[in-house]
Structure 1
C-alpha cells in the first residue's frame, strides 16, 4: 500500500516525464522541426528572451539570419523571417493579428491602447477615432507650433555656440529628443514641455525607464503581479494626470483646443464607460513616446550617416542652400516636402537605421505556408523588416548610405519601395508617419541651413533597443558652428 506522499511523488514524476516527452516531440517532430535555428531554440525560448530583455536582439538577429537563412527558429513556437514575400504576406496580404505579447504589457488587461490592441475590429475603431488628428488639414495647422519650438531650438543652439567661442560640441541625441518632445506636447497636448530650454532630463529618464520596464513585462508578464512591484505606467502616469487635469480646468472656463488630447477628452465625455480615464492615460503615454523618440532618433541617425559620409552631406547642403539662400528664409512644410535629395537622404537613413530594429511580432491565425514551411496555427512569427531592408538581393551595396538609389536606378536596380517599410505596413502601419516626416524635414533643413555640422571622432554607434533604439554610450555628439 503506497502512502499519499509516495503517490503524489509518482504523479509529479509522471507529469514531468509527460512534459519532457511533449517538449521532445515538439522539438524533433512536426512541421516546425524542419526550420533551421540554434539547437536550444527547439526546446526553449529563454536564451532569445534574455537577449530581448537586454535590448540586444537587434544585434543578435542579423547573425542568425546570416547563419541559417531567411527563416530561423528561436523558440519552440517562435519563428523569424526576413524575406520580402513572407513579410508582405504576414503584414499586408494576410494581415496577421498582433501576438499576445502586446496584451501582456497592458496595465489593465481590459484597457488597450492603439498599439496594444490585438482585435482587428476594435483597432479599426480606435484608429478611426484618431484619424481627424492626422488629416492633412490638421497637420498643416500645426506648422506654426512646430516653428515656435524650432525658434527656441535655434536660440539655445546659438547660445551654446556663442558661449563656447563659436564652436560647441552638442549631444544631438539629447537635444533632438528634447525638441521632438516639445513639438509633440505643443501639437498634441496644448503646450510645450519646454525641454529644449530647460534641458531637464527627468522626463527623458522616465520615458527610458518605462520602455525598459515594458520590454521586461513583455517577456515576463508575471513580474508586474508581484507584490510591491509598481506598474510600468506608474512612472509616467503622474505627468499624464496633470496634463489631463489642466485641460479639464481649461474646458470649464470655456477654453477649447483642437488637438489629440481634446479628441481623447471629448470621447471620454461622450462615452465614459467605453473610453475611461485609463484609456486616456494609455493613449497619451503612447503618443508621448511614439510621437517624440521615433522622430528624434530618425533625425539623429540621419545626421550620423550624413556626417560619416561628408560627400552626401555636401550634396544635401547644396540643395538646401539653393532653396533657402538666406538664413532668414522661412523654412516651411511646402518648401521642404519636395526637396529630392533631402527625401532621398531620409529614406536611406530609415532603410539603413530604421526605428523598427527587430521583428514585428504577429500570430498565425490558421496553419499556413511561410517561406516554404508549414507553420501551424498560433505560432509566433516575427517579420524582420530591418533585415529585409538590408537584403543584398534587393539592395545593391546594402550596408552603404547611398541616397542616390532613391533618385534613380543604382547599379541598374531601382529602389524597391515594396521592400521598404520603416513605418511598418498594412492595416497596422504608423498613424503618425506624415506628422513625423513633416517634422523631420523641418528639423534637418533648419539644422543644416543654419549650422556647420561636423563629425566628432571616436564615438560608438552601438545600439540597444527597448521598443525604440538607444545609443549604448548614452549620447551622440555633433560639432556645431553657426554659419555665416
Structure 2
C-alpha cells in the first residue's frame, strides 16, 4: 500500500510541474522536465489503476455469497450483485466508481490523514494550554484504565472542536477539488457556459473574517455552542469540499482524527525541544495537499 501511496504522491508533485501548461498542453513536449513529469504521471497512474483493478478482481473471486462483507470492497460488490439480481440499475454504483472510491479512501485518504495528524501535533506544540485542556477532558471522560473509543466521542466535545479547528487553519486542501457546470449559468453579471471548470477558494472560506473573527487565531472554542456541545452546522467550514464531489471519507477521517488525538492525549505530552527554534504553524507551499513544514519535538509519557 505504501508503495502505491508514494506513486500517487509523485503524481501530485508532477502535476504541479504541469499546472502552467493547461492553456497550451502541446508545449509539454517542448520542455524536457515537463515531458518527463508527464510520462511519470502516465506510468504511475497505469500502475495504480492496475493494482486496484487486480484487488477488485481478487475480491470478486472470493466474494461472500451471504453474511457480512469482509471490507469496503466486498460491501460495494455485494450491493452491485444485489442490484443486478433485482434487475435494477444505479448509475451511482459501478465497478469503475468502486475503483475511484478505493483511490480516494485508501490512497488519497492515507496521505491526507497522516498530514492532518502532523498538523494536530504541531498545533499542540504551539498551544500547550490547549493540550492541557484536551488531557483534562480525556482524563475526566475515559480515565487511564482503558483506551479511548468512538463511544467516547460525543462526551468529548473539546477534542472534536480541536480537530475541526486544525482542519480549518491548516489549509490542507486550499483549493478543494474542481467542479464542472452542468448547464449555462449567469453569476454576478458573468456568463459561464456549460462545461466550465470551477475551483473553490477553500482557503478564503476558512479565513474570511465575516465568518471567523480573528481568523488567524487558533481557537477550538469557535466550534462549541454556549452549552459546551459541538456545533453541527458551521458556515464557511468546508475542509471536505461540498456537493457531489464532497470527500467520501469525511466521516472516516473525523473518526480517525478523534481517536488519534484522544489516545495521544491520554498517554503522552508533546513538548518542544530545548535549544531548537520553537516550531511555527507553517505549511509547505502547495495548491493541492499542504503538509506542515518539518519540525522536531519531544514525546513524554504521561504518569497517571
TM range (shorter): 0.7 to 0.9
Corresponding residue for residue 300 of structure 2: 481
Q: In the superposition, relative to structure 1, how do residues 467 and 264 fare at CA in structure 2: closer, same or farther (>3 Å)?
A: farther
Matched, 1:313 2:131: yes
Q: State the distance in 1 between where 2:152 and 2:64 align.
A: 40
Q: In the superposition, relative to structure 1, how do residues 244 and 318 fare at CA in structure 2: closer, same or farther (>3 Å)?
A: same
Q: In the superposition, relative to structure 1, how do residues 401 and 237 fare at CA in structure 2: closer, same or farther (>3 Å)?
A: same
**What do the CA deviations read for 1:274-319 (whole angstroms, capped 9, x no partner)?**
8876554433222222332232222221221121011111111111
Corresponding residue for residue 470 of structure 1: 291
**What do the CA deviations read for 1:324-343 (whole angstroms, capped 9, x no partner)?**
221x3131111123312111
Q: State the distance in 1 between where 2:3 and 2:177 align.
A: 30
Corresponding residue for residue 295 of structure 1: 113
The structure showing larger relative contact order (alpha-carbon pairs under 8 Å, at least 6 residues apart) is 1
Q: What aligned pairs does 1:69-80 form with structure 2 within 5 A after superposition?
A: none
Matched, 1:210 2:11: yes
SS at match of 1:395: coil
Q: State the distance in 1 between where 2:95 and 2:239 align.
A: 32
Q: In the superposition, relative to structure 1, how do residues 427 and 281 fare at CA in structure 2: closer, same or farther (>3 Å)?
A: closer
Deviation, 1:391, is 1.3
Corresponding residue for residue 143 of structure 1: none
SS at match of 2:143: coil
- Which of these residues, 153, 157, 160, is aligned with residue 336 of structure 1? 153
Unaligned 5+ runs, structure 1:
1-192, 194-200
Q: What aligned pairs does 1:227-246 form with structure 2 within 5 A after superposition?
A: 229=39, 230-246=42-58
Q: State the distance in 1 between where 2:236 and 2:66 align.
A: 49
TM-score by length of 1: 0.48
C-alpha contact (below 8 Å) 2:148/2:262 kept by paired residues: yes
Corresponding residue for residue 446 of structure 1: 263
Superposition CA RMSD, Å: 3.7
Corresponding residue for residue 355 of structure 1: 172
Q: In the superposition, relative to structure 1, how do residues 375 and 455 fare at CA in structure 2: closer, same or farther (>3 Å)?
A: farther
Q: State the distance in 1 between where 2:180 and 2:174 align.
A: 19
C-alpha contact (below 8 Å) 1:361/1:382 kept by paired residues: yes
C-alpha contact (below 8 Å) 1:453/1:479 kept by paired residues: yes
Deviation, 1:212, is 2.7
Question: How many residues end up aligned between the 2 structures?
Answer: 274
C-alpha contact (below 8 Å) 1:405/1:415 kept by paired residues: no
Structure with the higher strand share, 1 or 2 = 1
Q: In the superposition, relative to structure 1, how do residues 246 and 324 fare at CA in structure 2: closer, same or farther (>3 Å)?
A: same
Unaligned 5+ runs, structure 2:
30-34, 85-90
Q: State the distance in 2 between where 1:337 and 1:300 align.
A: 24
Q: State the distance in 2 between where 1:261 and 1:416 align.
A: 31
Q: State the distance in 2 between where 1:235 and 1:470 align.
A: 25
Q: State the distance in 1 between where 2:72 and 2:242 align.
A: 23
Matched, 1:455 2:272: yes
Matched, 1:261 2:73: yes
Q: What aligned pairs does 1:174-185 form with structure 2 within 5 A after superposition?
A: none
SS at match of 2:174: coil
Corresponding residue for residue 87 of structure 1: none
Q: State the distance in 2 between where 1:253 and 1:435 align.
A: 27
Q: State the distance in 2 between where 1:249 and 1:366 align.
A: 45
Q: In the superposition, relative to structure 1, how do residues 375 and 245 fare at CA in structure 2: closer, same or farther (>3 Å)?
A: closer
Q: What aligned pairs does 1:157-236 form with structure 2 within 5 A after superposition?
A: 202-214=3-15, 220=22, 229=39, 230-236=42-48
